[in-house]
Amino acid sequence: MNATAGNAAQPRHFGAVLTAMVTPFDAQGRLDLGAAQRLARWLAGRGHDALVVAGTTGEGSSLTDEEHSDLVRAVAQAVTIPVLAGTGSGDTARSVALTRRAQGLGAAGVLVVAPYYTRPPQAGLEAHLRAVAGATRLPVMAYDVPLRTGRRIAREVLLRLFREVPNLVAFKDATGDPAAAADLVAQAGAHFDLYAGDDALTLPLLAVGGVGLVGTSTHWTSPVFKELIEAFGRGDVQRARELNQRLLPSFAFASGEDWVFAMSAKAMLRTLGLEVGDCRLPLPPAPPQLAVQARQVWQQLNG
């Protein structure tokens, strides 16, 4: 990496440190809007530039449409930073409906994941994203996570979308392919902001033109990420590397064989005294060792 001060890409819409916020549930598994507002305010106070609600980590696929609307409205009312609504799904009509609704609920933008499970061909992926973006005046962040959706969005499709769809302004890249991200930025970088969708790849993506991340470990690491991005932006790559190394235990903790991101983030938040409840099935209750690991990771981060 060879950055100099002033050469780092700057976010144009949502800021640099975004968190895919968990969705709190109560002991009976019901949506807890009060806890969601408290969590949102707590996150906003820790340097987050924006929040994403009802995304993958927010268990958006386990929410009813009514719960989705209530959550977006409640969080948008609780904070002054931008709130993006996760409105992607495996059904284009539902994604369009959720997107239209989000516009009247206080959302500042929407995050749209590629349709999952059906694995549509590239023509279907492109038509889906055009339809959703065309349903709103809000800025749209496209999200490519082929490990979950089963189909990667082709570079040619992304290039057309970013060049031709005016409100498609950002890309959450969870493909694990920094070389492809560099090529995309080189060809269409003036049309969109690149965000890391994998916390551990934030520094590599900054090096190829990224502006920040939509993170999960950022629930508890946001001040460190803020400093890392600022250090890189002023050309202090050595400091950015040191901060990235400090984050390694958090990256390892975020997902494992017996838990996924929503489970680890909630375990950490409970460790920090925030009531967020367990996840909904099909995500099971957190295994006991997760709380032990959460305490260890927090102590390492702040030791």
Query: What does the DSSP 8-state code read for residue 153?
Result: P
CB burial of residue 97 (10 Å; 0-12, 13-18, 19+): middle
Is 143 annotated as catalytic? Answer: yes
Taking alpha carbons only, the member of 8, 3, 53 closest to residue 31 is 53
Q: How many residues make up the chain in this entry?
A: 303
The Cβ of residue 198 has, within 10 Å, a number of other Cβ atoms equal to 22
Looking at 116, 117, 172, 195, which residue is catalytic? Answer: 172
Reply yes or no on whether 116 is catalytic. Answer: no
Report whether 79 contacts 51 (CB < 8 A).
yes
Closest CA to 67 of 19, 27, 14, 29: 29
Is 214 annotated as a binding-site member? yes
- Residue tagged 């920090």 (tokens): 272
Q: Which amino acid, residue 215?
A: G
Beta-bridge mates of residue 143: 113, 172
Q: Which token pair is 124?
A: 């279907």
Cα separation, 82 vs 182, whole angstroms: 27
Q: Which amino acid is at 295?
A: R
Q: Which of 116, 117, 143, 266 is catalytic?
A: 143
Which residue is listed with tokens 């060879």?
2
What is the H or E stretch that residue 214 is in?
Answer: strand 212-215
Q: Which of 56, 25, 37 is nearest to 270 (CA)?
A: 25
Return the number of other C-beta atoms located less than 10 Å from residue 30's C-beta.
12
Q: Is 57 annotated as a binding residue?
A: yes
Q: Taking Cα atoms as reference points, which of 227, 267, 273, 219 lies closest to residue 246?
A: 227
**Which active-site residues does the annotation give?**
143, 172
* Residues flagged as binding site for pyruvate: 57, 214
